[in-house]
Amino acid sequence: MTDVMALHASTEIPPGEIISSDDEENVLEEDLGFGNIILVDNLPVVSREKFEKLVSLIRGIYGRFGTIKEDWMPHDPNNNKSLGYCFIEYNTPQEAELAKEKTNGEELLPGWTHKFAVNMVDDLAVPGTEVAKEITPEHSVDGFAAGGNLQHWLTDEKVRDQFVICAGSDTEVLWNDAQYLKSELFHKRNLWNEDFVQWSPLGTYLATVHREGAAIWGGASTFNHLMHYAHPQVSMIDFSPGEKYLVTYSRHKSSNSSDANTIHQVEVNIFDVRTGKVRRNGTLNDFALGGPIFKWAGGKDDKYFARMGKNILSVYETETFLLVGKKSIKAENAVDFSWSPTDTILALFAHESGSDNKPARVTLVQIPDKKELRQKNLFGVSDCKMYWQSNGEYLAVQVERHTKTKKSTYTSFELFRMKERDIPIEVLELENKNDKIIAFSWEPKGHRFAVIHGDNTRPDISFYSMRSAHNTSRISKLTTLKGKQANALFWSPSGRFIVLAGLKDFKGQLEFFNVDELETMATTEHYMATDIEWDPSGRYIATAVTSIHHMDSGLNILSFSGKLLYQILKDDVFQFFWRPRPPSILSPEKEEEIAKNLKKYSEKYKEKDKEVPKLLREKARGKRRMLQEEWEQWESRWQRLHEEDKLERLKLRDGEDSDEEKEEFEAQELEIEELLDVIEEVVSFDD
């Protein structure tokens, strides 16, 4: 593989480097987000006439810490009075941080009772708060079309989730109104995309892909067009985890190709999501495009991303989009890597080297200092896969090894405890080492994992915990389910529940399993199901048949325990996705406190829950009443027509009115014999 990235002007550059499309600019405009904006609270509430005086005073105080780009003081439209707080936007986050540090808790004027309460807007702009309602794109970065509060959907009173369906030429975004056993249309558009749609990782944007490039949409009451990213023939897009950047890819045949040697090129653009500007772009020669070439570090900082080259791993930082430490990491025989979902730690897998007898190895590297945290040598390796637990607490390395005869392989797992001192490693081997591994999956935010292994037609499913009854640092086996029709695992986002799914060849067999109780809650089937996805809350799950795989497309919405709630039947469904939710802003301690006092917090919802069955029953009664009324109207109409035709009937019956006569019937049995055929035959009798 030739690992060369070049400018569109075809200037060759060293391997591992990314050069800006406008590299003559040494300083590029940074996407500040809300990091350069502060919220100043606990101000006096003044009338409209005193606005300018208060604003002038605030500007005088806060102008000492940097250049104020903009300030605004919200007011109550009912009485035209200020609301007691204002926003101040500086040129840089450093100026905003300094202003917060110097004024938080200080008096507005000597002797006044008003003391500033100053916070960074980045720390407060969460769904449902006044800050989130006030801060909109028009107040943040120029060039990003105003779409209102882009997280308004999170404030839904019914706490519902949204999902998108692409069917034929229509794209629909719907609310999952599962309590009322239905979906509710939020937005629908025909020919909204030309290829596919994709949610951003935090659910803020819906991206649509077209021949000319990609576009993102969002808004409070509808989906407004926010930004377009030009990239002809784009075939793949990838957001950074914090949604600050969008990477677009396209693949085409190189002009240097010949009949004997086809060379493919991948065009890459990295856009700033809010400004739409290209931060870096380039061309990768002779590169496959099976997935995103650049992989982002975990977390929402969007500070680092990396890609694999030939015997190197190139890690970049987004402040300058240059290599961390100005050079790549040497990674001889490296073939794969993955980031921790939460930390700037890389797991790097390298094959063994036959020339110098180096074994295969998995190496953990801390970024940005490139410190090697742990290395595990592996011998006789045929293949290797890496699975991170969602909190980054554990890393499972699935190692497929050759037997001594090299005629077959067996599998084991190397399990890294990432949060413990020196990162201890445990080895897990199945009871039957020769079992084929069909699927592996961690419990989200938990310590358990599931493995499908064994025969392809009736495999077993084993559950393990990274803790034992008496030791939190020891693996324990929970149970093994024998002979299941399953080839895929789908954990609830909140853990505890898992769907054991038999997709494609298993015809859509589904088993809903409670891992806490180690018992099956329900078994069902969605014939020929191709896709299964939990909603972000873990309360509902969707099973779908897409037209790409089967003609009878549509989806079912089920409860977490496997009860079918409602169906959506559509022709030519080719995409279905739940809208992601951003992570909870609550601390682990607060979440634990809520869990302990759940009964207290849930009281206000109980009455609403009681109303739902009543409303559903009333809806059912209303439907029955409507059907009864329709029947009575039909019967009345035909009785009226019957009366209108009476004269015609009398005429046909020679004046005899027989409408009211009760005819008497007598049942009789009549036997009829019918001669079908006669055959004459002469029979001789011997003496």
Q: Can you tell me the mean pLDDT for 498-509? A: 91
Q: Is the pLDDT of residue 674 over 60?
A: yes
The verdict on residue 174 lying in a domain is no
Ramachandran region, residue 136 (left: φ > 0; alpha: ψ -120 to 50; beta: rest): beta
Please report the pLDDT score of residue 668 as a whole number.
73
Q: Is the pLDDT of residue 290 over 50?
A: yes
Please report the pLDDT score of residue 353 as a whole number.
79
Please report the pLDDT score of residue 392 as a whole number.
95
Tokens representing 366? Answer: 């801390």
CATH code, 86: 3.30.70.330
Return phi, psi of residue 186, to 5°: -105, -45
Best-predicted range by mean pLDDT among 102-111, 391-400, 454-463, 645-654?
391-400
- For the chain, counts of helices (H) and of strands (E): 7, 42
Report which of residues 152 and 257 the model is more confident about.
Answer: 152
Q: Is the pLDDT of residue 287 over 70?
A: no
Please report the pLDDT score of residue 643 as a whole number.
84
Tokens representing 225? Answer: 């067009």
| Cα(430)–Cα(451) distance, integer angstroms | 10
Tokens representing 389? Answer: 């637990």
| Cα(353)–Cα(335) distance, integer angstroms | 12
3-state secondary structure of 394: strand
In 311-349, which positions are buried (b, 16+ CB within 10 angstroms) versus exposed (e)?
ebbbbbbbeebebbeeebbebebbeebbbbbbbbbbbbb
**What amino acid occupies position 296?**
W
| Cα(489)–Cα(460) distance, integer angstroms | 12
Please report the pLDDT score of residue 184 as a whole number.
95
- DSSP alpha helix (H) spans, 499-597: 588-596
For all residues of the chain together, what is the average pLDDT?
83
Q: How many CB atoms lie within 10 A of CB 507?
A: 13
Contact 229, 236 (CB under 8 A): no
Report which of residues 386 and 679 the model is more confident about.
Answer: 386
Q: Which domain holds residue 53?
A: 3-141
Q: Can you tell me the mean pLDDT for 159-176? A: 95
Q: Is the pLDDT of residue 142 over 70?
A: no
Taking 3-state DSSP, the helix, strand and coil percentages for the chain, each rounded to the nearest 5, stand at 15, 35, 45
| Cα(481)–Cα(520) distance, integer angstroms | 10
* Cα radius of gyration rounded to whole Å, the chain: 34
109 falls in which pLDDT band (50, 70, 90)?
confident
- Of the candidate ranges 580-584, 593-597, 603-607, the one whose mean pLDDT is the lowest: 603-607
Q: Is the pLDDT of residue 170 over 70?
A: yes
In 165-195, which positions are buried (b, 16+ CB within 10 angstroms) versus exposed (e)?
bbbeeebbbbbbebbeeebeebbeeeebbee
Q: Can you tell me the mean pLDDT for 458-467? A: 95
In 517-526, which positions are buried (b, 16+ CB within 10 angstroms) versus exposed (e)?
eeeeebebeb
Closest CA to 88 of 124, 37, 133: 37
The verdict on residue 304 lying in a domain is no
- Of the candidate ranges 67-81, 247-261, 267-281, 336-350, the one whose mean pLDDT is the lowest: 247-261
How distant, in Å, are the alpha carbons of 210, 339, 363 from that of 395? 37, 10, 12
Q: Is the pLDDT of residue 620 over 80?
A: no
Please report the pLDDT score of residue 618 as a whole number.
78
The pLDDT tens digits of the residues spanning 47-72 come to 888 888 888 889 989 999 988 888 88
- Angle at alpha carbon of residue 5, lines to 311 and 259, rounded to 5°: 95
The verdict on residue 178 lying in a domain is no
Contact 417, 394 (CB under 8 A): yes
Residue keyed to tokens 């025909």: 190
Domain count, the chain: 1
Report which of residues 7 and 61 the model is more confident about.
Answer: 61
The pLDDT tens digits of the residues spanning 553-575 come to 789 999 999 999 999 998 889 99
The verdict on residue 120 lying in a domain is yes
The verdict on residue 66 lying in a domain is yes
Percentage, residues of the chain above pLDDT 70? 84
How distant, in Å, are the alpha carbons of 361, 402, 404, 405, 434 from that of 408? 21, 6, 9, 7, 8
Please report the pLDDT score of residue 373 as a whole number.
96
Contact 412, 392 (CB under 8 A): no
The pLDDT tens digits of the residues spanning 328-371 come to 999 999 999 999 999 999 999 999 876 677 899 999 999 999 99
**What amino acid occupies position 240?**
S
75 falls in which pLDDT band (50, 70, 90)?
confident
What 3 state SS string does 261-307 have? Answer: CCCEEEEEEEEECCCCCEEEEEEEECCCCCCCCCEECCCCCCCEEEE
Please report the pLDDT score of residue 685 as a whole number.
61
Q: Can you tell me the mean pLDDT for 187-214? A: 93
| Cα(146)–Cα(140) distance, integer angstroms | 10
The verdict on residue 609 lying in a domain is no
The verdict on residue 48 lying in a domain is yes
Q: Can you tell me the mean pLDDT for 436-447? A: 95
**What amino acid occupies position 455?**
D
**What amino acid occupies position 340?**
S
How distant, in Å, are the alpha carbons of 45, 79, 95, 570, 594 from that of 74? 11, 12, 22, 46, 33
Q: Is the pLDDT of residue 3 over 50?
A: no
Closest CA to 379 of 396, 361, 356: 361
The verdict on residue 37 lying in a domain is yes
